[in-house]
Amino acid sequence: MERSKFENIGDPQLRKYANYVLLITRTTGALNNISEFYNIIMFPLTSQNTEISKKILAPVGGSINRSDIEYLYYIIINNNLLDGDGPLDRPTLTVETIDFVYEERVFRTVTHSGDVQTYLPGDLTSGYLITLKEEGIVDPWSWKKTGDEEEDWDVRDFWFDV
């Protein structure tokens, strides 16, 4: 991730811009969490949010990236912007390990092959062999595994463990 352009802006100018963004977004719910803040800027879904996004982006040349949004959010959330004195509490770029977890359902075809003694070679049916399995006469689980093919899969759910 590239560094935020806000790292190079002095405290007075950054405070002024952050306060401006705070005033624009304070009634939108955008400051509830970083996801809301990011989405209102990058993916405005309503005409009101489109106007808010344009107002936020105009003073910085019409575009900001992820690192800029995170940096700005940190400044707004962790500083008393109305207090114009003193240095800003600024974030530092760090690396955080995140787990991406998903549950999947896999459809596999597994084949076991074995020998069955019979007087009816070529005339055995699956239904008959299922009956023999249920009665414990044949045990296909103990037979040699001769095939294992994954045919399809379906992701059931996913999330990030933070």
pLDDT in tens, 65-91: 999 999 999 999 999 987 777 899 999
pTM, two decimal places: 0.73
Work out the percent of the chain whose per-residue pLDDT is above 90: 73
DSSP string, 59-76: GGTT---HHHHHHHHHHH
For 134-155, how does the pLDDT look when each residue is reduced to its tens digit (9 = 90+)? 999 999 999 999 999 998 889 9
Distance of alpha carbon 77 from alpha carbon 40, whole angstroms: 16
Sequence spans of domains, the chain? 5-78, 100-161
Chain center to CA of 159? 6
